[in-house]
Each structure stands twice: as C-alpha cells, then as structure tokens.
Amino acid sequence: MTGISRRNLFKTAALTGAAAAAAPAVHAAPAARPVHEGYPAAAKSAALWPEELPESNLGLTGTFNLGKSQLNDGTSITAFRWGVVRPVVKGGKIVACMPFEHDYAPSVNLQGLAELPYSSARIRYPMVREGYLKNGSASREQRGRDKWVRVSWDQALDLAAKEIRRVYDTYGPSAVYGSSYGWYSTGKIVASVPCMQRLLNLMGGYIGKRNSYSTAAINTIMPYVVGTGDPRCTSWDVVVKNSERVVLWGCDPLVTNDIDWFTTIHNYAGYFRALKKKGTKTFSVNPIMTDTAEYLGSEWIAPNPGTDVAMMAAMIYELESTGKADHAFLEKYTYGWPQLRAYIFGAEDGVKKTPEWAEKICGVPAAKIRAFAHELQEHRTMLMFGWGIQREDFGEQPHWMMVALASVLGQIGLPGGGFGTNYHYSSDGSPLSNAPFMPQIPSNVKPVHPSKLPWKGSKVLPVAAISDCLLHPGKTVDYDGKKVTYPEVHLVMWGGGNPFAHHPDTNQVARAFRKPDTVIVTDYVWTATARHADIVFPACTAFEHPDITNIGTYSNDGFVAMHQTIEPQWEAKNDYEIYSLLAKKLGIEKEYTEGRTVMGWIRKVYNDTKKTGDAIGSPMPDFDTFWKKGYLLFDVSEKNRNYVMFEDFRKDPEKNRLSTESGKIQLYSPKIASYKYDDCKPHPTYFVATEGVAHATRDYPLALMACKSRYRMHSQLDCTNTRSRAAIEDREPLWINPKDAKARGIKNGDLVLVQSRRGKVLVGALITERIIPGVVVLHHGAWYNPTQTAQGEVDVRGNSNTLVLDKPTSKLARGNLASTANVQVSLWKGAVPPVTVYNQPDRVIR
C-alpha cells in the first residue's frame, strides 16, 4: 500500500469491501476536509497530524479451517492496547488490520495483531497436565515439564470447580492467590482479570495485591513526596508553547507510548512532531541512545545505569553552591530542604555530592554535569521522567531526587516548567476530554457464602511478592511502614498476563510455581505461565467477541465499540463466558451474570456512562447509534488544554495544600524517618545498586539493561512474526558496544551466551554505538524457553528476566527489578538448540 493520505483513508476505512480497504493505492481524493473532521478536540491542538500514513503491507494467510467464500468480505472495528483498528476480513479470516482514521501514529505492530488468532502458540482446547489428571497435586514438580491432555470443556470445568470448592472449604480465601496481573484485556466486560476476580470474590475473596510491576516504586514514594502516586502531567499544548528545554530522563516515549492501558489514538506523536518542528532543544539522559532521542536529535547524556540519583544530587550541589538554587520556592513550597541540603553538602555522611564525586559514579564528566544544571536553570525546563529507572535497585530514589531537583530549579507550577512522570505512558499530557469515564464490569462484589475459616497471613501483598510468597509461606517482611506476612497458597488462578515475563529471576519463578496444590490459567496462547499450570482454559482474542472500551487512559478521548470480527477459533471461549460457566458449576451463576450476556453488560456500562454524561453536560448518542457507528470522540475544554500541574498549589499553597505530611512538597519525610529503614532514608539518597557497573567482576563484568521493545508489550505479540523484525536467528538481539564486542571476538549476527548468577540465555549480537561500553541491552518480554544444552539449562529465546536479580527495591515499596544484573557475554559454540516455545506443547492422545 503506498501513498494513502489521511483524507483518503477516511474514505477507504469507511468502505465495506475488503478489496477496497486493501487496495494498493487510492488516488482520487474527496473534497478537501480538515484532518480533524469528526474529532473536534484536534482542531485547536498544537499536535501535528501527518498527511501521509506509513506504508503498510498487512496481507495474511488463513488458519486451520476453510472458512467462508472469499467473496464474503468486509471491515470491522475493534481495539487493542496498540490502538483502535479496522480489521479486514476475507473468507471468514482476518487478512489485514487497517489503522483507525483518527490515529496520529498507527502502531508498527498491526500485522502482529492480525496474526494473533492464528498463532502457532494458540491454546486450542481445554487442556490438563497429564500428571495432574493421574496424580493431582502430587505431580506438581512436573509443572513446566509435563505433557498435556486435551479434555472437553465440561471435564475441565468440573476439575477446576471441584478444586476451587475444595480449597475454599478446606483453607478459606487466604489460600487463593487471585491477584492475576497483566495487560491481557483492553475491553471493559470481557476483561480477564476482573472477570476472574468477580468469581473469586463471590466465592469468598482472595489474596489481594497492591501496585503494579510497572510502577511499584514510584507509586509508593510519590504520595509521600507530592501527595499522589500518579500526578497528572502539564498539557502537551502548554509544553510545546512554553518549554524552552525538554529533558527526557530515563524514558523513550516513542516506544512506550505505542500502547495504552485501554486503547489509544497515539496523541503523543503529534506533539513530538510539533516539538521537533518548533526546534525546542531536548536532552536524553539515558545509557542508550533511544528512538525518541534519535527522532528529536536530542543531546545525549549517558550516565551508567542506576546512577541517576548521584548525577541529580551533583546538579543540586552545583546550583546551590553557585547561588542559583531557588530559595524562595524552596522556603514557600517545600518541607525538608535543610535536611536534604545537609546530605548534599556532606554534613550527614561526610561526602560532598560534587560533580567530581558524581563523575566517578555515573561516568558523566563533571564539567558536563555543571553545564547541564545551569542550562536547565537558565531556561524554562520540563523534566520528563520514565519508569524504567524506578524498576532498578533502590528505585524509590530517582523520582524523589528528581522532584528535589525540580524544586531547586523552582519552576514547578509554571507553564512549561517542573516535571512529569507519565509523558512516556498512555499519551499522558494529551488534554483530558469533557466526558465521563466508563467503568468495567464490577469485580468487587460480596460473597455468596462468606467463609467462616480464619484468614491466615496478610490480605494484601506487594505485587512483586509472588515468588517469595509461594516459596516462603509464613514469612514476615517490612512493607511501607507495616509488616506483611505471606499466606500459604494452595490455589493460584491467573487470567491473562504472564508473570514469567514480568517477574525477575524467571528460573526461580518456575520453582515457585511448583509449590501450590493447583494452578489454573486462562489465556489464548501458550505463555510460560500457561505451560506451568495444571488446568488451562483457551480464551478468545479481542477479534472473537464483542466489547467496549475507553480511548486514552489519561485523556479519555472517546469510546470505541469492539465489534466481534471473526468466530472464536478452535474451541476458545471469551473470558466472561468461561467464568460464567465456572460459576454455574460452583452454584453461583445467577450472582455472577446477574442475568446479563456480554452484550447486556456492554449496553449497561454504556447507558450508565451516558446518564453521567448527560448530567454533566457531555451528551452521548443512544447505544444503538453509537454501536452502529463504532466510535465516539469527545471535545476538550480550553481549561484542560491549558492545564499546568501544581499551578493552583503554586498560586496559593495554603488553600491548595498537597496530600502530604506538611501539605507541601516533601524533600524530607518524618513518617519515612519513623520506619528506620536502612535502604530508604527520609530524604532522597544515592545507594550503590547490588549489581551493576560498580560491581563489575572478571566473571560478570557487564551491566544489563532491560528496556521495552518496539515490537511487543511485555511478552505480548512475541508469538507473532513481529518478533522477526528484530530477531537474530529467532533469538532476542543483545545490544553491545563495539568495544565490548571486539574484546570478545563477537561480530554482528553472532549467537552469544549471556549468563548471570541466576541463569543463562542464548541471543544474537547486535553491535551498536547506541549503548555505552560496559553495558548491554536485552529488551524485555521474549518468551521463556528453558532447554537442556551442553552449557547446562539455557533459555534459548532470550528472556531478560532469566538474568535479573529478584530483590525488593527497598523495604518501603518492595518494587520489582528489571535492569539490575551483572552478566558475561561469550560466543556460543557447538550445536544450536531450536526455539520451541512458539510450538504447541507436547501432548498425549487418549
């Protein structure tokens, strides 16, 4: 497909024939139409909408059955984390995914989405592990190694219901880990986690979780510092207009904004185009040259991973020692500057945090640190921080020190100044619409038969405690000023998601998953989590059922009708149907469904939202009109377009107090001081990471970084051909600096063994100057494929978490690590083991 303009795409996407939708080119444009037609919020935006879409080549083959005649064709509309899409169906099969006509930057992964229903890794039938069928939980050590048996839906549901009932009756809800975590479902109704948790709450409850793998450290520390874990960012329109310097610190928005918690029209892209067109000077502070830095032509400042806090502390030292710190702001709007200053100037520990001190730690020249600090102070500066740096050891500290640096600069609450922690995620900074937000299917429901058994252990655990909890029941740990005791888990239920990709030290995760009596997983592909289960239910992809969702987690740009595009493949059922059937087996079907089908729930949540919209002056069409059109886009008020974070606080800090101990920005926290933690002091502090550049040894001389991949989200889409865009002999590529490669005799494209103290992975070498010497990059999310080789057990696909240290960020947040490991890299020698994880698992025909 070549040269389809935005205006022509309006016409193309509206056609019902697949031949028209997939035509090689469209040349005859209709009468001139503004690019924002049908999307009024775009009319006054600073974002730039491109006239031309990227070239697409999305032709696909069919799947296992013949389907309908090829003349039965048409287009539909649905949504994924990667955006709203218009699937093209021919002969009953999806042959392409066209981008939505209001998308600023259609994802590069549309082809992978179209392939999902037909993936070789698709879970085709209800499956039960052979050992579990024969010996039940006594066979738990065979999880991840056993063969599988195809069973009927009725048999699988009976087995699962019997075990669920047994665990609740014998041990109570404190023995059920139902805190399934993942990015599986974008819809509001057929949502894997709420659907499953609705069932478990009706049964009496389950072990809860707090926070997410993405944000555990930042969402714990920021409420202490600014009163909220997720502060709304200053509008991008304000940034483009007013910011003279933009600093992208530890983030790569052009990669990570490709996805959204619900779905997206990629608003971020227009603003980055506008920022580039204006010529605003940008900096990228990151050990790697990011895609965003490459696009913007950013000045690259490359500290060693895990040393950002030292660099920021030195910048504060420089500004204070030269009289450039904004004392008026510090006195009026912050609490604890004297204590933090004492630390920065060495009164606390005898170490002055000078640029020379920081240079030895972070590798950035002292002169550069000085110049950088002054340039930010002399210009209106927006500090944009990512979440990657809080997924490292002592991850609470970078964002706390970042707020301290922004406070010393004194620009918080000014247009285009201050900081933002979400510009890299779900297109935050895009102005919020005037419309109400749509709820999901309720999962917090009262139990039908409340358990009379005593709850053992804590009811809520840190999200990243799963391995530690399964391996050490009864263990008590410090957590955010309290004590948490791990319950004894007998049943794990996981709906969507893949902790074998989220959680560090994957080999340990595998050992942990062999501890419970039973593991039940619902998913549509054979992830490592599914392969380590006992009972597996095959779920539908979003193409195979109707649903509805918001567009834009932060901006709430509109709603999209997720029309069912194709029939469920193989014997898959949607999550709502699966848990409704399970509820029927458990005798709670009436309470679970409330008499509603999926479409009944979709209509209800839409109509409930419409009532709210009508009440607040944001009218919506009736449901049938909305469903027929397929989407609804909202307008944006000028107030929201001109939103400035903490503007009201700056104007009147007494009237608009923050939800912190003092009502101000906390540079020192008496509450944290009272916890007396040795790994999280009451002010932001530089700690040396447990592993990393500072701990290089002869055996493990390189520091590992695990960044987000362009071509998947966590482990999603790794089972499609999108992985081939970066893979080397179907292995994950390892970014390595030419200096480090030469020292090891490694050439581009070589297969190499990467090993840490926890595991080994086989990957392909990609030699590049975009990573600093002494550091290697293995992008997060490759599927875990442990295989016995002459080198011992090796993950032959290249999952980064196989190598990463599993320890809490600190006692405060107990967040997970993703980029903390020392590794060695060497040429692979001998036979090359095949990648098998995308094949069907071994099964027994009975």
* Active-site residue set: 181, 183
Give CA–CA dist 626/548, Å, rounded.
Answer: 11
Find the radius of gyration of the CA atoms of the chain.
Answer: 26
Query: Contact 139/146 with Cβ under 8 angstroms?
Result: yes
3-class DSSP assignment, residue 340: helix
What is the full DSSP assignment across 782-816? PPP-EEEETTEEEESS--GGGTS----S-TTT-PP
- Write the DSSP symbol of residue 433: B
Beta strands in 393-499 (DSSP E): 418-420, 460-462, 476-479, 482-485, 491-495
**Contact residues for 418 (Cβ-Cβ < 8 A; gap 6+):** 234, 382, 383, 406, 411, 412, 645, 646
- Rounded CA-CA distance 601/443 in Å is 13
Compute the CA torsion angle 719, 724, 729, 730 (nearest 10 deg): -10
HEC-encoded secondary structure of 78-110: EEECCEEEEEEEECCEEEEEEECCCCCCCCCCH
**Cβ contacts of 510 within 8 Å, gap of 6 or more:** 143, 144, 500, 528, 532, 786
Say which residues have a Cβ less than 8 Å from residue 208's Cβ, sequence separation at least 6: 179, 459, 460, 461
Cβ 783 vs Cβ 761: under 8 Å: no
CA–CA distance, 518 with 610 (Å, rounded to integer): 42
Angle (nearest 5°) at CA 354 between 351 and 356: 110
- How far is the C-alpha of 425 from the C-alpha of 362, rounded, in Å? 26
Q: How many CA atoms lie within 13 A of 153 on its CB side?
A: 16
C-alpha to C-alpha distance for 762 and 295, rounded to whole angstroms: 31
Helix (H/G/I), strand (E/B), else coil: 306:
coil
